[in-house]
Structure 1
Amino acid sequence: MKTLMRAGVLSLSLAALAPAALAQTVSAPAPAAPAADSMFRATTLNLSGLGEVDVAPDMASINLGVQTEAPTAQAAMQANAQQMSRVMAALNRAGIEGRDIQTSNLNLNAQYDYVENQPPRLRGYQASNQVTVKVRDLSRLGAAVDATVNAGANQINSISFGLNDRSQAENQARQAAVRDLQAKAQLYAQATGYRVGRLVTLSEGTSYSAPQPPMPYMAMARAESMKDSTPVSGGELTVRVDISGLYELTR
């Protein structure tokens, strides 16, 4: 793993102390300043920082399915169900548990032939059943893909990678973000002749990014004729935490 730091957004607010109160013409005490006004009576820094951690994924999600056509809707759905049952069984044999297989799309559409100057002619029906498969062990990923293609899956739409447990990577990114924020606060305080007093507020956001190369269907469909399992590379995920903080400065 490697930790990266990048520059963030800065806004610097320097407010002069309020002038001395004018002499009172009556003996009644002056009203207390509103709490919200206290920020404007101090010098503050409003900064943002970020922390990034690159980590290898340990799980993947694949969207795949079966598409069939037949002269009638019933025949198209029946053929699709039979073919999809074989795909499900193949996934189970490849070590994928039922809790990690979820139906994501089910469609039945009429198919027409169009000829110029003639009404559309019904050719038949197309049934499509797609599932999202979570593979928790990446060593099983290539074998799982091959097994589904061999069993009749003819649609592989996408693959994405992730982490089974994101907490460790997130915490590392948080620490890096805090170091980035503190370094900026020290730098700007020194540059303006102040010292960092206290951290007033802190907020964060978390994101993940990983370039996902396209996975062409034809390359995947040829897997049934290959002796070796389909090679799939997970690359690295970038876990990023963005934070913002408000510091109070002192002389």
Structure 2
Amino acid sequence: MRMLSFCIALALATPLYADEAGRITVTGEGQAFAAPDMATITLGVTERADNARDAMDATSAGVAAILGRLTAMGVEPRDVQTSDLSLGPVWTQHNSSGEAVITGYEASNRLTVRVRNLDSLGGVLDAVLEDGANRFSGLGFGLQDPAPLEDEARRAAVADALARARLYAEAAGVDLGPILSINESGGVRPMPMDAPMFAARAEAVPVAAGETGLSASVTIVFALGTDE
């Protein structure tokens, strides 16, 4: 599936000298889509206890179990990273005095995990929940090698700008001259996607891969001449 959406801006510069050729500036946008082959999930373990040591020990035990399960399911160590580790008091306000006192401690350990085998994603989510993950704050799909899709989006953006420039030049009754400059605007950007849900396996957490999309924007300046 390939789609293009266009956002074109046209500007004619006023010549500084009588013999200076006119110019036309066109901005084209291109989009490219592909099925993702990687998912990134953010999950964690949060535990409370009467003292700080017990809270951190309980959290660490849960994370250790999750790390072991991820390794057993083929997730490589380079694809697992601790993204947040915290420990703090739990405050409770007494109804009688209104004074806040410490009634326990809460420890939290959050992991960011890349799953390169999407067929196993539902099973991975189900397994880490079994092993003690009680925080889940993110799921994103992407490509392990986005370069080919980025180039496709750039080509689409240039083709868009060329087509629009020819159209405007024809409508204005002028010749479209050579390209004077090409500038990429803002780099290649990911696009949010919506997709229906499906279950990776009957007993696993349902996940949806859908498509991932990238968009590119390019501004091209052309010289103009009079159509005689």
TM-score between both structures, scaled by the size of structure 1: 0.82
| C-alpha contact (below 8 Å) 1:16/1:42 kept by paired residues | no
Counterpart of 1:207 (choices 167, 189, 197) is 189
| C-alpha contact (below 8 Å) 1:210/1:236 kept by paired residues | no
| C-alpha contact (below 8 Å) 2:193/2:213 kept by paired residues | no
Task: Report how far residue 14 of structure 1 moved.
Answer: 4.7
1:97 aligns with 2:72: no
1:122-141, Cα deviation, whole Å (9 max, x unpaired): 21100000000011111111
Counterpart of 2:214 (choices 231, 239, 245) is 239
Give the percent of matched residue pairs that are identical in Structure 1 and Structure 2.
35
Counterpart of 1:198 (choices 170, 175, 178) is 178
| C-alpha contact (below 8 Å) 2:177/2:223 kept by paired residues | yes
CA distance in 2 between counterparts of 1:76 and 1:17 reads 76
1:113 aligns with 2:96: no
CA RMSD, 1 decimal: 2.0
CA distance in 2 between counterparts of 1:18 and 1:45 reads 17
Count of matched residue pairs: 219
CA distance in 2 between counterparts of 1:133 and 1:7 reads 36
Query: Structure 2: which 5+ runs fail to align?
Result: none
Q: 2:133 is matched with which residue?
A: 153
| C-alpha contact (below 8 Å) 1:5/1:177 kept by paired residues | no
1:194-237, Cα deviation, whole Å (9 max, x unpaired): 11111111011311112468x9xxxxxxxxxx961112001222
AA paired with 2:188?
A: T
SS of 1:3's equivalent?
coil
Q: 1:167 is matched with which residue?
A: 147
Task: Report how far residue 67 of structure 1 moved.
Answer: 0.5
Task: Report how far residue 185 of structure 1 moved.
Answer: 1.1
SS of 2:41's equivalent?
strand
**Whose radius of gyration is greater, 1 or 2?**
1
Write the mapping of 1:17-166 to structure 2, written as runs, cut at 5 A.
17-18=17-18, 41-116=20-95, 117-166=97-146
| C-alpha contact (below 8 Å) 1:106/1:128 kept by paired residues | yes
1:136-195, Cα deviation, whole Å (9 max, x unpaired): 111111111111111111111111111111111112111211111111111111122211
| C-alpha contact (below 8 Å) 2:12/2:25 kept by paired residues | yes
Task: Report how far residue 79 of structure 1 moved.
Answer: 1.3
AA paired with 1:83?
A: G
